[in-house]
Amino acid sequence: MLNEQNLIAYLENTLPPDERALVEAELERDPQQRRQIVRHMQLDAALHAALGESKSNERVKQSVLAVICGESEEAIKQQVLVDTGSTSRPSSILQLLSSIFRRPAWALAAATACIAIFLGVWFATRHAPLALAIETPTQVALASGMVIPKSGDSIRAGDATLATVTFADGTILHLEPGAEIRLESVTTPPRHGGKQLKLINGSISATVAKQPPGLPLLIQTPHALVTVVGTEFDLTVGTNQTQLEVEHGLVEFSGTGSTNPLAVAAGELAVATKGLPQAQRLARNPYFWPFSSASPWNTPLGSGAKFEPLPGQPFLAAGPLVRAMRGRHPFFGRPTDTVRRVWVGGEVRAEVRLGENALPPTGLIEPVVLMQRARRYALELQTVQVRPDGDLEAADIERTDLAGSGLSPSAIPAKPFGLSSLGGLIRMGELSGGIRHALSARVHRERLGGRSSFQKPSTVWPAVGGDAPDEAMLNVGTLLAIPPGVDIRALVGNSGAAYELARAMQDYGVYISGYGNAAFALVRGEAELNVADEDKILNELVPLLQVVANNTEATPGGGGTPRREAAPALPIQTR
């Protein structure tokens, strides 16, 4: 049975083909309905022809409706100003008449008689200023509660809380802490209708439903314009640049003043920088290859590196290594995951999104790293407990800049030696595609100098916060590497996991980042082999490691000509 809603959708050509066929079949059986549809189409076409696409169309349409309802001229003027400022522009007069006044389709015949009347009203009111309508969200979920925004409103997430902006078609924007958007037209000349907003600062994650033809979602930042038909992406605004990462689909990204947008596809990262009109793709993603090009974690060994034998006994003196690789993969949250608070010392220090499957194990002593889409930093937690309500309790929390050095100037509970827990992790695909950074390892506490309690072992640069270096022992921060004279290809071949590990140990080295109960344990992230293969490879490679004696802040990697090219640059983190 036909109703007003599917008739409107039929005339607007928004019904799926199967539902459109059902409407046409019903019209074939009902001549009266068919004649009425034809009259509506004629009226709609006549009004479009008369009004065109000028910016005053919306006022004219509202005035026609006001006359039909018998309103006074003054009331008409006031109502037009209100309606055009907050109502999305319909794609036809029919939709406007039916949706705003909730009149049944047969009532549209009255509008035909008013066409002569509205012309006079149009001229009487054309002097009034008029705001162009944009599509506004149906609701905004803030920490303080739900609100219904209107055109021109600013929406800001709290400094430590999240916000969710929802549109009628299912498009959702997730605002990260401190992010601010403004609901207003962004084009010059202003575009009439569709979703438009300005991202003033901060980060958002967006899941965008397929937008109507000719009306893509437009997001303007201080440095760029983003054009979206339908996809998932993250957008971050800093002081000097805007950064875009596309999760699915394709997004157009152009710098301020540019007429040549960059098409950014799924898995790609791009940046628009202040003063440079053309957006650029980034060569690496800080989520999977973090820290600056100059970070010790990304610095290759140089030709000036000096090698010394390992002090004390060999790592394998007490027997082969067992479980020679230990996992520490970051926990990733998605915008649709549950919002959870992170408590430290009885107060909420952060809000994160984590699904049930991404929660860290209860009572985990090892450091925990939380990664969130659209954030260009990681949250590092120490000693995590999952509370009964699903929130997290931690002994300490620290924010780590993914474009920074990966080091802290002083020791803190979340980073007891100033070294980020992200440093040196072997990520997915690196054991086959190549490791382009230093590695991280733990050694037995008895191999380290420092206090006998081992609460404060000896440290050397880049580690901090421990006792003075001990030349007769290893130290947290010591860089180990396979000397350049060792022919690793003769030992492990030219490809495969063993070759990639050996090459990383020779070109970048392994930092001692802490201690444990094993003689030696390499720390990995998401990448893994079966335990037997890991142990076999490391029992072959670890005995080859020696100390890089001149790895200092003045001569990182020993100085001289680097063995590998520097890591591609990342935008400077500004939040």
Task: Express each pLDDT in 198-225 by its tens digit.
Answer: 999 999 999 999 999 999 999 999 999 9
Confidence of residue 336 (pLDDT cuts 50, 70, 90): confident
Quick one: which H or E segment has residue 495?
none
Taking Cα atoms as reference points, which of 215, 292, 221, 297 lies closest to residue 255?
221
C-alpha neighbours within 13 Å on the C-beta side of residue 572: 6
Residues 6+ apart with CB under 8 A from 303: 558, 560, 561, 563
> pLDDT class for 407, splitting at 50, 70, 90?
very high
Claim to verify: residue 112 and residue 147 sit in the same structural domain: no
- 303 and 365 in a single domain? The answer is no
Any alpha helices (H) in 87-146, and if so which ranges?
A: 93-101, 109-113, 115-125
Element (H, E) at 377: strand 377-386
In 204-318, alpha helices (H): none
Residue 131 lies in a domain: no
Q: Is residue 132 included in any domain, yes or no?
A: no
pLDDT of residue 257: 79
Flag whether 570 is in a domain.
yes
Residues 174, 335 contacting (CB under 8 angstroms): yes
Whole-angstrom Cα distance, residue 215 to residue 231? 14
Neighbouring CB atoms inside 10 A of 568's CB total 12
Which residues sit opposite 412 in a β-bridge? 415
Residue 238 lies in a domain: yes
Tokens matching residue 349: 């220090």
Q: Do 510 and 439 contact (CB within 8 A), yes or no?
A: yes
pLDDT of residue 11: 65
Diameter of the chain measured on Cα atoms? 100
449, 552: one domain: yes
Q: Is the same domain home to 309 and 356? A: no
Same domain? For 546 and 409 the reply is: no
94 and 208 share one domain: no
Are 189 and 262 in the same domain? yes
- Residue 378 in any domain: the answer is yes
Of 125, 157, 179, which residue sits at a domain end? 125
- CA–CA gap between residue 178 and residue 157 (Å, rounded): 5
**Domain end position, chosen among 78, 96, 125:** 125
Model pLDDT, residue 54: 43
- Residue 572's pLDDT band, with cuts at 50, 70 and 90, is low
Q: Identify the sign of the CA torsion 210, 212, 214, 215.
A: negative
Give me the pLDDT at residue 537, please.
96
Number of domains in the chain: 4
Residue 404 has pLDDT above 80, yes or no: yes
The reply to whether 452 falls in a domain is yes
Confidence of residue 169 (pLDDT cuts 50, 70, 90): very high
pTM of this prediction exceeds 0.95: no
Coil/strand/helix, residue 150: coil
Beta bridge partners of 180: 156, 201
Residue 356 φ/ψ, nearest 5 degrees: -60, -40
Q: Which DSSP state fits 358?
A: G
The CATH number of whichever domain residue 201 belongs to comes to: 2.60.120.1440
Q: Which of 236, 238, 226, 202 is nearest to 572 (CA)?
A: 238
- Which residues are CB-neighbours of 570 under 8 A, at least 6 positions away? 282, 284, 286, 292, 293, 402, 403
Does residue 312 sit in the same domain as residue 450? Answer: yes
Q: How is residue 234 annotated by DSSP?
A: E
Q: Is residue 117 part of a domain?
A: yes
Q: Are residues 110 and 227 in the same domain?
A: no
**Mean pLDDT of the region 113-133:** 45
Cis check for the bond before 16: say yes or no (omega within 30 of 0).
no
pLDDT tens, position by position, 137-155: 999 999 888 999 999 999 9
Could you tell me if 345 and 414 lie in one domain?
Answer: yes
Q: What are phi and psi of 515, to 5 degrees?
A: -135, 165
Of 195-209, 236-250, 286-300, the least confident: 236-250
Pairing of strands 196-207, 180-182: antiparallel
Q: Which residue has the tokens 């000719």?
A: 214
State which of 95, 125, 155 marks the end of a domain. Answer: 125
Domain of 486, in residue numbers: 290-326+422-575
Same domain, 194 and 249: yes
Which percentage of the chain shows pLDDT scores above 70? 76
Q: Is residue 130 a part of any domain in this protein?
A: no
Q: With contact defined as beta carbons under 8 Å apart, do 134 and 194 qualify?
A: yes
Q: Are residues 444 and 344 in the same domain?
A: no
